[in-house]
Every structure is written in C-alpha cells, then in structure tokens.
Amino acid sequence: MSSMERPSIDMFQPAYSVLKIFGIVRPTGGLRDSAMEWWNRFVLAMNVMSLVVLVSGVDFRTGNVELALESLTFALVCSPCIYMTFVCSLWKKEIFELFDSIIVLLAEIEDAFGLEAVKQMQRECANVMWAHLALLSISIPPPFAIAYYNYYIGGVKDAAPYNIYTLFGRKENIHTNCFWQFCTFIGPVAGVVANRIVMASLAIASSGIIEKTRLRFEMISDGNKTYLLPQAVKWHSGVIRFVKESNSILGSSFTVEFLFSNTYICNACFMLSKFGSQDDTVFYKSLAMVIGFSSLPIYFCMSGHKIASESDKLYTSIYQNYWYRLHPTDRKDMILPMMMAKAGISWNYKKIGQFDMRTYLFIVKQSYSFYALLRLVDSG
C-alpha cells in the first residue's frame, strides 16, 4: 500500500498495540517475526494452562460446592476469550489485510470529508482502549488487596484472591497464592481487553464508513450524480465486504461468547443468591462477578448494534433521497444500492441470527431462566 493511499491518521493503532502483546504482528519476515511467533505460542500455552487449572477445580464430589462452582464459572468466562485469542492468532494475516482494506477506504473518506472525520473515529478507538485499561486497573487489585487483608488482619493462613483451584494447591503463603492466581488470570483477562479493542475498532470503522456513505447518498442530485453516485456505491460495497470478512473471521468467536454467556451469568447469579449471605466479602465479590460477567457479552452486542443501526439509517436515507428527480438511466443505477441496503449490514455467523442489543436481551432472559431452574433444583 502506498503512502498516498493511507489516511493521515491510522485509527487501528490501539488494535495493533494490544495485538502485539499477544505476539500478533504484521508479517514482515526476519528475526523479529520468529521471536513474536514464539512469544505468541507461549501466550497461547499460558492461556491453555489457565483453562486446565480452572477446570481442575470443578469437582463437586469434594463437598466444596462454592469452590467447584466458582472454578466452573471462571472456566466458562475464560473459554470464549481464549478461543478468540486462538482465532486472532490463526487468522492474523487476514485480520491485517482487513485493516489495510479499511484504511484505503478511510483515505477516500478523509479526502471527501476532511481529516476530522477520521480523527473522530481514531478518538473513539483510543477512548475504548483507555477505558478498558482503566477497567482492568480497577478490577484486578481489589481481590488481591482483600486477600492480603484476610491474611494479615483476619488471620486466614491460606488466603487467596479467589476461591478457585490454585496451581500446586493453596499454601499458607499469601504471596505464593496471589502469584499463581495472577498467572492463572492474566492471560484470559488480557485477552478480554485485546479482543474488545479489536472488535471496537472494526465496529467504529464500519459504522463510520456506513455513516459517511449515507451522507453521500443524501447529497446526490442531478448536478453531481456523475461523481457522487459511483463513489457512494463503491463505499457501500466496500463496507459490506468488510463486515462480511469480519463475520467470517470473528463470527465464530461471537457465537462462542453468546453460547457460554448464558451459563456463566446464570452461575454468577446463583452463587450470589446461595453464598452471598455468608459474609460481606463473599457478597461483594459475588456481586462484582454478576456485574462484570453480565457486561462481557454486552460489548460485542453493542458493537454489532452500532453497525446495524447505521445500516438502517442508510436504507432510509437512500429512499428519502430525491432519486425520482434523476434521469431514468440514473434511477436504474440506484436500484442495486437500494436492494443492497434493504438486505442490511450486521455482525452474524453463517447468517444465523444477528448480534445486536436484542441478542443481549435474549441472553439476559435465558440466563434468568437457567438461574430460576437452578434455584428450583437446589431448593427441591
């Protein structure tokens, strides 16, 4: 790609930065690629180890139901994150090609609407990155601080941040317990942040292009149709292709998140109702789990909703344009964009369902149904 084809600002810089943490970089050849490839394999191995450690604690025969249920819940939460990390690693070449294709179209948008149009998208991506890093900084320290408080003030000799199975067993050493639990969660937690930033970047870019395409269609008139109509059709076809490629690469990750989210939200609610009354520490920890786990699927649903919402506006704007004032030959050129807009643009997998806020409401409804069933079985 030549420098003339690139916009002045690369809005995918936050995505490049977080992907680099996992060793996912643009292939260029040489020693650097080999080093990052080995680092990527190490990160994937650490993620698998985290899942194995969590699954090892899922043993209800020991009688410690809280330990088994918490380990199961965290295993269900981490599984989609680990899966998406593997997907990004396996499809990294296609991901960077998708980024490059979007950047070429953003360069045209910059030429048409000015630098501020791309700057706005770049700011949104940067805000998402800083928000997730802030959330990560806020959510990780409290459980570890509570563990140290219980150890030094409460006298709990085998205190640990989470009541899950710990690698090599729980020791009467707070530093050892915190270290191994930190190693267990750092991979999946970092995966959550990286995956959300990549999804947000794609959603912001796609919805931004759809918005500018809509404005282009609204501006078409008999005097500028020769230039604006082909450009609007090109942008429309481009964003449809981008979203379709996003679905082919990440659609299975969205589906896995959708399937697992029903269960881990249900488990978190059940743990809050069953063990939350033991003491204040367990209550606040369980409440934080319910809130945190409920927010995980909402992100890809909100991102998909942003794209679908802009797509609906595009469909409306094409019909509200003064196309009927155009020459009959030009009216025929509007038929294909109208048909394409009517089909809509959305995040989905194999055209099964659509990931938007209606999907999130369905997840919440199903989670509550499973929770009610668990309560019924537990009380019976």
Q: What is the pLDDT of residues 257-301, one digit of tens each?
A: 888 998 999 988 998 888 877 777 778 878 888 888 888 888 788
Q: What is the pLDDT of residues 55-108, one digit of tens each?
A: 887 877 777 777 788 888 888 888 888 898 899 888 988 999 999 889 988 888
Least confident of 37-51, 77-91, 204-218, 332-346: 332-346
Nearest residue to 285 via CA among 66, 21, 98: 66
Which domain does 362 fall in, by range?
Answer: 3-379
Whose tokens are 């294709």? That residue is 101
pLDDT at 4: 44
Number of domains in the chain: 1
Q: What is the pLDDT of residues 141-161, one digit of tens each?
A: 878 888 888 888 888 887 888
pLDDT at 5: 56
* pLDDT-above-70 percentage for the chain: 93
Q: Is the pLDDT of residue 2 over 50?
A: no
